Structure 1
Amino acid sequence: MSLSADLCCATDQSGSEDYPDEGIGALCSDRRCCHGAHRLRDEHHTTEIYLQLHSPTFDVVGYLCSCLHAALSTTPVTDSDQATPQEQEVDAKVAAAGLTVTDYSSAHLFVKAACDTFPGLSNATDGGVDPSEWLDGNATRDTNGARVYQIGIPVLCPTFARDIDAALKGLATKSDGTYEVGQGPGKIAPGKWKAVRAANDCYWERTSATGDIIDNKFVTHATTMIVNVRRTDGSVTFQGCPKMQFVK
C-alpha cells in the first residue's frame, strides 16, 4: 500500500470545510471540524474509509489517526478473497436485479463500506449525522446506490434496515437545506416534522411547486418547533434550524 499512518499528521492545506475531500492533511494540521465524508484509498482502490466528522467537540485528529492506523494494519480486500455467504447473497441479488456499482469490484463491498460507517455516526440530537441522514445524502452518489443499499443493508447490517427505508421514503433526518416534497433520497415526505431540540434564530419556509411562499416563520427561540408539510407543497426550506425528524 502507498499510504502511511503519517498521512494523518500531514501539513497539506488543500482541503477546506466546504470541500474536505481535497485535503485530509488540513484536517489534522489545524484541528478543524470539516463537514462531510472523507475517503482515503490505497493505490489499488481496495480500502475505503468513510469518516463523518460533524460534531465541533469531537476529537477529529485522534479519531482520524486511530482509523488510519487500524486500516493500514489490515490486509487490503482483493477480488480473490472469499466472500461470506451473506456477502455472496447480496452480490447474487444485486446481479439478479441487473444492477452494478462503480468504484467497487462487487456490490457487497459497496454495502459493507456503508455498514462499517454507521456505528461511528453521531446522534442527530447532538447535532451529528445519523445513519438515515447519511444514507439520504449518499444513496444517490452512485447511479444504483439507493437500490443496492436497499438490497444489501437488510442482509449485511439489518439493524440499519429502517434507515435505508426512511431515506427511500423521504423520512430521513433533515439538516439545513431545501427539500422537494415527495418520496426518495434527498426529498421530504408530507407530515409533521419536529426539531430534535430547541430552536434559536431559525427560519423555515414552505413553498408551492412554482416557488410561491405558502407559509414561513422566523423563530427567535422555541423549546418545541413543529413544521407541518403538506402533500400539495412543492418544497420546504430550513435555515439555521436544529435537525428535523419525522413524527407522523
Structure 2
Amino acid sequence: MLVSGCAGDGGQDDPAPSAPASSAPQTAPTNSKEAARQHAPGPAGDLDRLADRKGWEVSSGFTSASAYVADVCKVMTSLQKNEQDPGGWLARRVKGDDPAVLRAGMPKLCPKWSKAASQVLEGDYAYWYPNGTYVVVKTKPKPPPRSSDETGEISPGTYRVTGDVANCYWERATQEGKVIDSRFLTASKDVTVRIRDTDGQFRSENCGVWKPVG
C-alpha cells in the first residue's frame, strides 16, 4: 500500500514507514502568513510582522498592513488639500481590524495624521461639515454623510468658513423647521455661525466647508 507523505531515499515511496508522518515532532509557526512572507527591516516591516503575528486582516485591495496605512495617509493628505475632511473620510471607512492596524502603524509611518486618526478611533474628532442639512444633537454626532442630499448630525458650537465665499446661505431652525436666524452673503472671505444647543437644525448652501472653531 502506498502512503502519501514524505518521499524516501532516492525519491521512492517508503512502503513501510516506522510511524505515521503526522506523529513526527514539528515546530509550526503560530501564523502561516508569518512563515510565508519576508518583511524588510524598518517601521513598515515591523508593522507587517506584527499584523501577521496578531492575525489582523488587511482591508480589501491591500497586500500588507503597511500598504494600507500608507494609502490612508496619502488619501488624507489629498483630501486636506482639496478642503475636504480627512477625519470624516476615515471615520466612514474603518472596519474590522483597521483600527488595530492604524493604532499600531500611524505613529511611525504617518505621524502627520496620527493624532487625527487616534481622535477618529476614540470618537473625539471634530468633523468638518460641507453644505447640507444637519440635525443638531447634544451627543457625539455621526460622521457627516457623503452627499448633501442626506441629513446629517452636528453638535452645538461655533463653525467657520474661510476663503472666497459667494452666494452663501445658512439658517438655524427649530426641529419643526421654523427659521430662528439666517443669512445670505453675496461675497465674503470669512463666515462664522454659532449653533446653539436649543437649535433643532442647521442648513447651508454654497458656503463651502464649515470647520469647528476652537
TM over 0.5: yes
For the residue of structure 2 that corresponds to 1:205, the secondary structure is: strand
Change (3 A) 1:89 1:192: same
Q: CA deviation at 1:199?
A: 2.7
Q: CA deviation at 1:99?
A: 7.1
> Which amino acid counterpart does residue 204 of structure 2 have in structure 1?
F
Do structure 1's residue 242 and structure 2's residue 196 form an aligned pair? no
Structure 1: segments with no counterpart, 5+ residues: 1-78
Do structure 1's residue 129 and structure 2's residue 86 form an aligned pair? no
Query: Match of 2:193?
Result: 227
1:190-237 Cα deviation digits (max 9, x unpaired) = 321111224321122334556554443322333431111234545533
Q: Based on CA coordinates, which of the two structures has the bigger radius of gyration?
A: 2
In structure 1, distance between residues paired with 2:38 and 2:127: 34
Query: Match of 1:42?
Result: none
1:83-106 Cα deviation digits (max 9, x unpaired) = 555343477479869776333344
Structure-2-length-normalised TM-score? 0.55
Aligned Cα RMSD in Å? 3.9
Do structure 1's residue 143 and structure 2's residue 95 form an aligned pair? yes
Report if aligned partners of 1:170, 1:183 keep a CA contact under 8 Å in 2. Answer: no
1:23-63 Cα deviation digits (max 9, x unpaired) = xxxxxxxxxxxxxxxxxxxxxxxxxxxxxxxxxxxxxxxxx
Change (3 A) 1:190 1:81: farther
In structure 2, distance between residues paired with 1:177 and 1:233: 16
Matches within 5 A, 1:73-152: 80=37, 82=39, 85-87=42-44, 88-89=46-47, 92=50, 101-121=59-79, 123=81, 128-129=82-83, 133-144=85-96, 147-148=99-100, 151=103, 152=105
Query: Match of 2:160?
Result: 194
Q: CA deviation at 1:114?
A: 1.4
Report if aligned partners of 1:99, 1:148 keep a CA contact under 8 Å in 2. Answer: no
Report if aligned partners of 1:102, 1:142 keep a CA contact under 8 Å in 2. Answer: no
Structure-1-length-normalised TM-score? 0.49
In structure 2, distance between residues paired with 1:219 and 1:211: 21
Report if aligned partners of 1:90, 1:155 keep a CA contact under 8 Å in 2. Answer: no
Change (3 A) 1:192 1:175: same
Report if aligned partners of 1:86, 1:155 keep a CA contact under 8 Å in 2. Answer: yes
- 4+ long deviations beyond 4 Å: 93-100, 118-122, 165-168, 207-214, 232-235
> Which amino acid counterpart does residue 43 of structure 2 have in structure 1?
Q
1:138-175 Cα deviation digits (max 9, x unpaired) = 43134348735751433321112243356543523332
Alignment equivalent of 1:171, drawn from 126, 136, 142: 126
In structure 2, distance between residues paired with 1:96 and 1:205: 49
Aligned residues: 164
For the residue of structure 2 that corresponds to 1:243, the secondary structure is: coil
Q: CA deviation at 1:113?
A: 0.6
In structure 1, distance between residues paired with 2:79 and 2:55: 30
> Which amino acid counterpart does residue 176 of structure 1 have in structure 2?
N
Segment of structure 1 superposing worse, 233-242 or 178-187: 178-187
For the residue of structure 1 that corresponds to 2:113, the secondary structure is: helix
Do structure 1's residue 159 and structure 2's residue 116 form an aligned pair? no
Change (3 A) 1:170 1:117: closer
Change (3 A) 1:247 1:237: same
Higher relative contact order (CA 8 A, sep 6+): 2
Identity, % of aligned positions: 23
For the residue of structure 1 that corresponds to 2:170, the secondary structure is: strand
